[in-house]
Amino acid sequence: MNLTVKEIAEVLGGSQDSTQMITNVEFDSRKIIPNSLFVPLKGTLDGHQFAEQAKENGAVATLWSEDISKAPEGLFVFSVSDTKKAFQKLASYYRKRVAPKVVAITGSNGKTTTKDMTEAVLAQKYQTYKTQGNYNNDLGLPYTILHMPETTEVLVLEMGMDHAGDLTLLSQIGKPDAAAITLIGEAHIESLGSRSGIAKGKMEITAGLKKDGILFIPADEPLLQPLVSSLSQKIVTFGLTEGTVQAKVLKTTKESTEFAIGEQNFLIPVIGRYNVKNALVAYSFGHYFGLSDDEIATGLKNFQLTKDRTQWSKAFNGADILSDVYNANPTAMGLVLDSFAELPLPGRKIIVLADMLELGNDSRQMHMQMAQHITDAFAEVYLFGPEMNALYHSLKDKRDHIYYFAHENKKELIETIKKDIQPQDSLLLKGSNGMGLAEVITALQKK
């Protein structure tokens, strides 16, 4: 980022004439480097109290919504009424100044993987920049924009939501040329009320979509059909058996999935039919931005998956661990269970499932519904957390080798699994991030 103090002041309604260059922006004072703009935010702690530390670390300017007399001396100070809104306004300005084509991706599941695939595809032809990690909210998205290089030609933005209205704001900041909704699941159903409410929330991604833009949606989601009927933008559907863009799955292994679109074959280095649908979105973006099938195939084959999304590792004794523990909802859990069940693997398949959070009043029923995905393909089933107790009681009289552990018994869960697994086994761990299954994986990796 290269903005002068004068330029920032003009954007935020101030009047400073300095040509001092600002080359970085941070809201964490510990990450400040020389020539940074510090953005103090108000949360559990008030970021204004860390302005002096930011200055010591190299900040030359700060946003400020407190009494101006309390700002550290020696900093350029931009006085604003709300530092977060000023941060977002600055991001909108910088996005407009750099003027990349903008791709926006949302969905109840698969948006991070789809973002990674899409960036890898478009990087075959363009200078690209994407959302790092899961910086996909009202702070993470402007942070992403303000960290994109000035040479960026295509900006790939992941957009997340917790409540109605969240995506409207993000879409209006990002102003996408093209957008996609990967899936309507049950994530955040507690705040949005129903899958229908979630669908309406995801459709907010079109709030800033350019009038001549395009929206990609799953062909097998009836909740979206009435919501797109009034849009002026072009609508393209994707799916495995229906839609404008279709794929046929050819082969699945532990490390990859092969599929065809028309006469062209593709390979992605991840498992699952659901990931083929994610790849269809990346393919569609690539096609929209003028890439050839060969360029798209190269990008998909070599894309790098963000950590903890269906990631393979090894247990202490050589057993394979498939980690998918960043988030979870019933749709996502069912998809990964079905895919794991279909994999041709040498030893036993063992599953470790933890609670899916934020499901509201229907949480118990939604956990019990996972029973339909727990087949004889799984030799051992470990269930962890208070919500998984409902699934345990629905299964315990129907099958053997099913074990339940309360939330406070994580150490016992780890010890039991360690005693059970054999070197040829494969374990799938799936649950919401808040359940701490990442700690279980780390423990299983250690002797």
Known binding-site residues for ATP equal 107-113
Pairing state between β 36-38 and 59-64: parallel
As annotated, the binding site includes 107-113
Length of the chain in residues, anyone? 447
Mapped to the 3 state alphabet, what secondary structure does the chain carry? CCEEHHHHHHHHCCCCCCCCEECEEECCHHHCCCCEEECCCECCCEHHHHHHHHHHCCEEEEEECCCHHHCCCCCEEEECCCHHHHHHHHHHHHHHHHCCEEEEEECCCCHHHHHHHHHHHHCCCCCEEECCCCCCCCCHHHHHHHHCCCCCCEEEEECCCCCCCHHHHHHHHHCCCEEEECCCCCCCHHHHCCHHHHHHHHHHHHCCCCCCCEEEEECCCCCCHHHHCCCCCEEEEEECCCCCEECEEEEECCCCEEEEECCEEEEECCCCHHHHHHHHHHHHHHHHCCCCHHHHHHHHHHCCCCCCCCEEEECCCCCEEEEECCCCCHHHHHHHHHHHHHCCCCCCEEEEEECCCCCHHHHHHHHHHHHHHCCCCCCEEEEECCCHHHHHHHHCCCCCCEEEECHHHHHHHHHHHHHHCCCCCEEEEECCHHHCHHHHHHHHHCC
List of residues 6+ apart from 328 with CB closer than 8 A: 354, 356, 357, 430, 431, 432
Residue pair 300/275 in contact (Cβ under 8 Å)? The answer is no
* Phi, psi (deg, nearest 5) at residue 291: -85, 150
